[in-house]
């Protein structure tokens, strides 16, 4: 019998402020995962500056691709397809990865597979959990996205809920800025919150009436700002650690409640988390406890696969590739690409 050939995918990601490339073997084995982060550059401006991000991607794009191939001990000739994030994200950033990926695929006569960034985050769960297969419930929480979905099959989603306003990570960034922690807010709040009392201040829950799986984070963000302003007017000093811990708790509680409710209501015993906020330690602890209680198996990627990376794009790209998804040389960046859209 003919032995099955290995399948190699080169994944490329440039949707926000990380330039990344990775080589993925047979869908779940990561041969290399190169990430060039621009975070220090954007810290100067208190957030990602799109034009600066785009320029930085231009500086790094070839380097990370060459490095990914080298670390994997492979060449382009061994690749079976090129997978690239084409949305959602910052259009100028996306275009760098998309243009380079298309040119490489074209020059090497390789199939081109456009990947949805969020599908990539979901797929990050497959890397370290070989037993995990759809269907399962997934909570996607990052700086730009907050979704609660049923992953029905590879690349097939049913959206149960989403944020009505800010993304969870965005709320972390804004609150961090208001208490002078700076950018990026998520890890900074996570850290300082460890020294604070999560019950010190009661903030409203980020719920939406009549939509049990939707989220709203603008209300809690405003409450934090109001709290700070009131304290300032009264000349009181605010305990930043208590405030961060209380804010974080209010966000985490809702994320956990909704995700666990979704799993129970739809009869799933598998729940995964994805996106940058899935690295948050309070969220991981609270979700683990809730899932244990409800006998739900919880999955989440290591922090390196929670952050924007190309390994996850290679994984998601692999499943699209074997399904037959192909994109043409006219593939465009789609900054507002919807989940499940092709």
Partner 1 sequence: MKILGIESSSLVASVAILTDDVITAEYTVNFKKTHSQTLLPMIDEVVRMTETNLEEIDAIAVSGGPGSFTGLRIGSATAKGLGLALEKPLIHVPTIEAMAYGCFRSNDMICPIMDARRNQVYTGIYWFEGETMKEVLKPCAMDLCDLIKEINKYQREVLFLGDGIPVYREKMIQILEVPYHFAPSFMNRQRGAVVAELGAKYYVEGRIEHAREHLPDYLRKSQAEREREAKLHAST
Q: Which residues bind partner 1 (CB under 8 A)?
A: 44-45, 49, 51-52, 54-55, 58-59, 61-63, 65-66, 76, 91-92, 95-104, 106-108, 328-333
Q: At its nearest, how many Å lie between partner 1 and the CB of residue 105?
A: 8
Sheet harboring 136-141: ordered strands across? 156-162, 146-153, 136-141, 270-274, 297-299
Q: Is 31 helix (H, G, I), strand (E, B) or coil?
A: strand
Comparison of 196 and 314: residue with beta carbon closer to partner 1: 314
- Sequence-separated contacts (24+) of 286-289 with Cβ below 8 Å: 286/252, 286/253, 286/256, 287/139, 287/255, 287/256, 287/259, 287/260
Q: At its nearest, how many Å lie between partner 1 and the CB of residue 94?
A: 9
Q: At its nearest, how many Å lie between partner 1 and the CB of residue 332?
A: 5
Comparison of 44 and 285: residue with beta carbon closer to partner 1: 44
Q: At its nearest, how many Å lie between partner 1 and the CB of residue 51?
A: 4
Comparison of 55 and 129: residue with beta carbon closer to partner 1: 55
**292-322 per-residue burial string, b: 16 or more CB within 10 A, e: under 16:** eeeebbbbbbeeebbbbbbbbbbbbbbbbbe
Q: What are phi and psi of 86, to 5 degrees?
A: -115, 5
Q: At its nearest, how many Å lie between partner 1 and the CB of residue 233?
A: 28
Contact 217, 164 (CB under 8 A): no
Comparison of 12 and 24: residue with beta carbon closer to partner 1: 12
User: Pick from 220, 234, 237: which is nearest to 179 by CA?
Assistant: 237
CA 164 to chain CA centroid, Å, is: 18
Contact 201, 243 (CB under 8 A): yes
Contact 87, 337 (CB under 8 A): yes
Comparison of 60 and 162: residue with beta carbon closer to partner 1: 60
N-to-C CA span, the chain? 37
Q: At its nearest, how many Å lie between partner 1 and the CB of residue 104?
A: 4
Comparison of 164 and 326: residue with beta carbon closer to partner 1: 326
Q: How many beta carbons lie within 10 A of that of residue 172, not counting itself?
A: 30
Comparison of 103 and 202: residue with beta carbon closer to partner 1: 103
Q: At its nearest, how many Å lie between partner 1 and the CB of residue 321?
A: 18
Q: How many beta carbons lie within 10 A of that of residue 92, not counting itself?
A: 18
Q: At its nearest, how many Å lie between partner 1 and the CB of residue 45?
A: 6
Comparison of 113 and 127: residue with beta carbon closer to partner 1: 113
């Amino acid at each position: 019998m003919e032995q099955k050939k290995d399948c190699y995918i080169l994944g490329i990601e440039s949707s926000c402020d990380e330039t990344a490339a990775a080589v993925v073997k047979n869908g779940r084995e990561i041969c290399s995962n190169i990430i060039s982060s621009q975070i220090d550059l954007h810290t100067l401006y208190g957030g990602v500056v799109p034009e600066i991000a785009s320029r930085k991607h231009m500086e790094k794009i070839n380097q990370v691709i060459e490095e990914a191939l080298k670390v994997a001990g492979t060449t382009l000739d061994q690749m079976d397809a090129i997978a690239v994030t084409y949305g959602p994200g910052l259009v100028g950033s996306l275009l760098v990865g998309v243009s380079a990926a298309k040119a490489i695929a074209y020059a090497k006569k390789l199939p081109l597979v456009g990947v949805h960034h969020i599908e990539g985050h979901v797929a990050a769960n497959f890397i370290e959990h070989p037993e995990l297969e759809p269907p399962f419930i997934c909570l996607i929480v990052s700086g730009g996205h907050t979704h609660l979905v049923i992953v029905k099959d590879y690349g097939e989603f049913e959206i149960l809920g989403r944020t009505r306003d800010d993304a969870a990570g965005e709320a972390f960034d804004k609150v961090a800025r208001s208490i002078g922690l700076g950018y990026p807010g998520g890890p900074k709040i996570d850290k300082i919150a460890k020294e604070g009392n999560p019950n010190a201040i009661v903030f409203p829950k980020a719920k939406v009436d009549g939509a049990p799986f939707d989220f709203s984070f603008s209300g809690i963000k405003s409450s934090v700002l109001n709290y700070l302003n009131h304290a300032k007017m009264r000349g009181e000093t605010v305990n930043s650690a208590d405030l961060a811990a209380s804010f974080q708790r209010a966000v985490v509680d809702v994320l956990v409640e909704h995700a666990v409710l979704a799993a129970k209501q739809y009869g799933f015993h598998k729940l995964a988390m994805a996106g940058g906020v899935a690295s948050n330690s309070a969220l991981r602890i609270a979700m683990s406890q809730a899932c244990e209680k409800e006998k739900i198996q919880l999955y989440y990627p290591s922090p390196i696969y929670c952050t924007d990376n190309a390994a996850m794009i290679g994984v998601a790209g692999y499943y699209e590739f074997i399904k037959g998804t192909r994109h043409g040389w006219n593939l465009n960046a789609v900054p507002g690409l919807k989940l499940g859209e092709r």
